[in-house]
Structure 1
Amino acid sequence: MSDSTLSGARVCADRFRSVLSHYPTGVVLVTAPPPAPAQPPPAMIVGTFTSVSLDPRLVGFLPAKSSTSWPRIRAAGRFCVNVLAADQQQVCRGFAARDPARWEVPYRLTPAGCPALVDALAWLDCEPAGEVEAGDHWFVTATVRDLAVQRTGPPLVFLRGDYGRCVA
């Protein structure tokens, strides 16, 4: 294989997206307390969530720089990561499309006051720890302050442009 075949010059955005679509990602909903009592809580669907460190307890995700939700979540100073279950595709689609009825889904507040979906597999209360520019995204790290498993089952995953489930 020639060096030109390996160069980044031949990797266009569509090809990059197509090849990486063969790697599944988990799907989470990141929520924060509402900025005012009459306003809905800020929320965003994330497919780049990952564990970063055990000591200290850090997680990370990559919101797009163009996100209008991330600045509102960042401003809250705390957020909840809701690990979605395979049977929550419609919930995911509703939040991704900013459906006006998205907050009709049952939720309760975590100890930090963030919305945790009642039917999510798990939730993690977090505080932003750092944010680094990463191309057209931000790489956000967060300290986990509290967490719980709410139920067991397969997680919602995103693979090749569609939602599915992962079975252990």
Structure 2
Amino acid sequence: MDKERLSAALGKIPSGIFIVTCGAGEQASGMLASWVQQAGFEPPALSVAVRKGRAVEPLLAEAGQPFAVHILTKAMGKTAGHFGKGFAPTEPAFEGIPTRMGKHGVPILTEALAYFECQVRGRLDAGDHWIVVGEILEGEVLAEGESWVHTRKNGFTY
């Protein structure tokens, strides 16, 4: 296998820019995600790829745990950068970020294009990532605009 050619080809797969929030109180956190996809119609479900070792990993490990997925626009680059740096387990992740509490106890980013509140249904080991499947419990469009879609130059890194 020619890894350089494969990397270039993998980088052409389009993905979005999303923020995943989970936990509550001092345990509340968030992460930048690009691998999110609708995974089912009935019940409605999403899949989210979470790199192993991230601080949010334990908050998305067990069935029933709530989390939210937020769709960003290109105008939300500052928010993407904020969550892209990652957070230690007790580090405050939402300072300076407008939020409200969702119906299922997780932070909702009020400036997102849209959001979904979910609960973990299960997860699949995908090597260096977990694929977390979440059943959608709530969802809403918060603003008008276009979803932020991008491609990568290298299919082996973010």
8 Å CA contact retained: 1:85, 1:121: yes
5+ unaligned residues in a row in structure 1: which ranges? 1-9, 162-168
Is it true that 1:43 corresponds to 2:30 in the alignment? Answer: yes
Tell me which moved more, 151-160 or 15-24. 15-24
8 Å CA contact retained: 1:22, 1:159: yes
8 Å CA contact retained: 1:119, 1:150: yes
Q: CA deviation at 1:156?
A: 1.7
Is it true that 1:85 corresponds to 2:47 in the alignment? Answer: no
Q: Output aligned runs, 1:14-163, within 5 Å.
A: 14-34=4-24, 37=25, 39=26, 41-74=28-61, 77-98=65-86, 103=94, 104-161=96-153
8 Å CA contact retained: 2:60, 2:120: no
8 Å CA contact retained: 2:60, 2:132: no
CA distance in 2, matches of 1:68, 1:40: 10
So what's the TM-score if we normalise by structure 2?
A: 0.83
Larger Rg: 1
The CA deviation string for residues 64-91 of structure 1, in whole angstroms up to 9 with x for no partner, is: 1232222234368110111111211111
The residue type equivalent to 1:127 in the other structure is Q
Percent identity of paired positions between Structure 1 and Structure 2: 23
Alignment RMSD, CA only? 2.3
SS at match of 1:63: strand
CA distance change for structure 1 residues 55 and 84 in 2, over 3 Å: closer, same or farther?
A: same
The residue type equivalent to 1:117 in the other structure is L
Count of aligned positions: 149
The residue type equivalent to 1:47 in the other structure is S
So what's the TM-score if we normalise by structure 1?
A: 0.78
CA distance change for structure 1 residues 101 and 129 in 2, over 3 Å: closer, same or farther?
A: closer
Q: CA deviation at 1:23?
A: 2.1
Larger RCO of the pair (alpha carbons < 8 Å, separation 6+): 2
Q: Which has the higher helix share?
A: 1
